[in-house]
Amino acid sequence: DAIDFSDNEIRKLDGFPLLRRLKTLLMNNNRICRIGENLEQALPSLTELVLTNNNIAELGELDPLSTIKSLTYLSILRNPVTNKKHYRLYVIHKVPQVRVLDFQKVKLKERQEAEKMFKGKRGAQLAKDIARRTKTFNPGAGLPTDKKKGGPSPGDVEAIKTAIANATTLAEVERLKGLLQAGQIPGRERKSGHSE
């Protein structure tokens, strides 16, 4: 059996009920950026997965595919992850059951090269380093933000107050306002030059 979910707005490959007979899943032309864990429990017979033209950006996002032992045909073409260094070797290492990757047969030489690259302590560390995953959003946890976006620090507030106090013209005040709206802290670069 096959299901074609092509040309939708799907963002995560997840949430399948138990589909014992499903062998082919076409998910091309979506916005998939994450692959759910434990897919092998819902799709135990999946042999062919087409994820062409999605938004998978990190090699670590492909790790859940390693548990689908029946998966032999995999396409991840036209995803940002395909531009990563060691992409093909990493996928061959993590999903060794795949025989055809991106519509090209996986050669014995590639398997040997992947095994050599990722074996031992150095190989395990390399796999860990390049398998970074995107940050997971937990419901109720709020959006991840940079520390700088949380507001100015006490030192920045002091720099702003000093810059405003030293402004002598309306044009200078407008310039400070523009800097603040752009997210820059006025006076930070001039702090060392002032002698008070």
Same-domain check for residues 121 and 185: no
Q: Alpha-carbon distance 138 to 154, whole Å?
A: 30
Task: Report the pLDDT value the prediction gives residue 135, as an integer from 0 to 100.
Answer: 52
Task: Report the pLDDT value the prediction gives residue 182, as an integer from 0 to 100.
Answer: 66
Query: Is residue 135 in some structural domain?
Result: no
Task: Report the pLDDT value the prediction gives residue 121, as an integer from 0 to 100.
Answer: 83
Domain of residue 180: give its range.
Answer: 147-189
Q: Alpha-carbon distance 3 to 37, whole Å?
A: 20
User: What residues contact residue 129 under an 8 Å CB cut-off, 6+ apart?
Assistant: none
Task: Report the pLDDT value the prediction gives residue 190, as an integer from 0 to 100.
Answer: 46
Same-domain check for residues 80 and 175: no
Task: Report the pLDDT value the prediction gives residue 195, as an integer from 0 to 100.
Answer: 45
Mean pLDDT, each 10-residue run in order, the chain (196 residues)? 96 95 97 94 97 95 95 97 93 96 97 92 81 56 47 72 80 77 61 44
Q: Is 176 left (phi over 0), alpha (psi -120 to 50) or beta?
A: alpha
Same-domain check for residues 85 and 156: no
Same-domain check for residues 53 and 120: yes
Task: Report the pLDDT value the prediction gives residue 116, as an integer from 0 to 100.
Answer: 92
> How many structural domains compose the chain?
2
Same-domain check for residues 74 and 45: yes
Is-contact 160 185, C-beta < 8 A? yes
Same-domain check for residues 97 and 155: no
* CATH number of the CATH domain containing 90: 3.80.10.10
Same-domain check for residues 86 and 165: no
Task: Report the pLDDT value the prediction gives residue 150, as an integer from 0 to 100.
Answer: 55
Q: What is the pTM of this model?
A: 0.67
Same-domain check for residues 28 and 124: yes
